[in-house]
């Protein structure tokens, strides 16, 4: 963990400019080729959801700007960020989940499956966002539809700084599978360049 020296930070003016806005988030919606990742998951008999969630977290943890958080009046660069995700239930509701990231897929998947069981056997939202560590990423999945745009709820807090990533149902074009993805981040901490770095690394992970 590192405290950013804001006065001598190359993003000082960017941070101050966007942090004055009631809603400093920006984002984009695109798609990634998930053909190989889907085939590998099915061939190895593990969840495609677990596969792309893991690969997303690997990619996120390569981009420093997406690991920065605003804590009180400081900007903190965390060594690692962890996993938050919505989990659906059979009754049509969902709950929040959280677990610590691991670069080992087997460990990651075990933690994810444990969280899925926990959420599916609970009611309500489960984990309160107020008690989650700030160094996590908010993921959600909309498995019923593909999409080309997405709107997240917001409380218009300029210190709200946890990136939001949403996945949709993959669509098939010319024999390849494409996963829609929406990414949002605090513009005082990250720019389009940094979202592009995440997406580039995410695609590399999906192709492995």
Q: What is the mean pLDDT of residues 116-137?
A: 86
Supply the pTM of this predicted model.
0.94
The pLDDT value given to residue 187 = 97
The pLDDT value given to residue 155 = 84
Q: Which residues contact 200 (CB under 8 A, 6 or more apart)?
A: none
Among 23-32, 89-98, 130-139, the least confident range:
130-139
CATH: 3.20.190.10, 3.40.50.10790, 3.40.50.920, 3.30.559.10. Which one for 2-206?
Answer: 3.30.559.10
What are the angstrom distances between the C-alpha of 191 and each of 89, 135, 173, 188?
35, 19, 30, 8
What does pLDDT average to over the chain?
A: 95
What are the angstrom distances between the C-alpha of 64 and each of 53, 59, 78, 81, 129?
19, 11, 8, 10, 23
- The domain ranges of the chain are 2-206
Contact 60, 79 (CB under 8 A): no
Side-chain-facing half-sphere of 94: CA atoms under 13 Å:
12
The pLDDT value given to residue 128 = 61
Nearest CA to 198 out of 49, 72, 83, 32 is that of 32
163 has a pLDDT exceeding 80:
yes
Residues 186, 160: Cα–Cα separation, whole Å = 7
The pLDDT value given to residue 177 = 98
For the chain, what percent of residues have pLDDT higher than 70? 98
Q: What is the mean pLDDT of residues 160-188?
A: 97
Q: What is the mean pLDDT of residues 99-106?
A: 97
Contact 207, 200 (CB under 8 A): no
Q: What is the mean pLDDT of residues 200-208?
A: 97
Burial state string for 118-135 with b = 16 or more CB within 10 A and e = fewer than 16: ebeeeeeebbeeeebeeb
The pLDDT value given to residue 130 = 61
Element (H, E) at 132: none
What is the distance of C-alpha 79 from the center of its chain?
16
Element (H, E) at 178: strand 176-186
The pLDDT value given to residue 161 = 95
The pLDDT value given to residue 154 = 86
pLDDT digits (tens, 9 = 90+) for 35-92: 999 999 999 999 999 999 999 999 999 999 999 999 999 999 999 999 999 999 999 9
What are the angstrom distances between the C-alpha of 178 and each of 49, 68, 71, 167, 206?
14, 29, 36, 11, 11
The pLDDT value given to residue 129 = 57
Residues 7, 149: Cα–Cα separation, whole Å = 36
Side-chain-facing half-sphere of 75: CA atoms under 13 Å:
24
Residues 164, 91: Cα–Cα separation, whole Å = 25
Place of tokens 């920006």: 26
For the chain, what percent of residues have pLDDT higher than 90? 91
């Amino acid at each position: 963990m590192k405290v950013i020296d804001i006065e001598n930070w190359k993003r000082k003016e960017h941070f101050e400019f966007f942090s004055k806005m009631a809603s400093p988030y920006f984002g984009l919606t695109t798609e990634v080729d998930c053909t190989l990742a889907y085939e590998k998951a099915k061939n190895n008999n593990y969840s495609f959801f677990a596969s792309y969630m893991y690969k997303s977290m690997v990619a996120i943890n390569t981009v420093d700007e997406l690991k920065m958080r605003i804590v009180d009046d400081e900007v903190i660069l965390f060594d690692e960020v962890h996993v938050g995700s919505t989990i659906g239930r059979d009754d049509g509701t969902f709950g929040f989940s959280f677990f610590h990231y691991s670069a080992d897929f087997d460990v990651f998947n075990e933690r994810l499956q444990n969280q899925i069981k926990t959420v599916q056997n609970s009611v309500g939202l489960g984990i309160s966002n107020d008690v989650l560590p700030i160094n996590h990423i908010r993921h959600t999945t909309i498995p019923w539809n593909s999409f080309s745009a997405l709107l997240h709820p917001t409380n218009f807090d300029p210190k709200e700084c946890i990136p939001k990533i949403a996945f949709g149902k993959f669509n098939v074009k010319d024999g390849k599978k494409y996963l829609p993805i929406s990414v949002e981040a605090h513009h005082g901490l990250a720019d389009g360049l940094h979202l592009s770095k995440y997406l580039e690394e995410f695609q590399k992970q999906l192709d492995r």
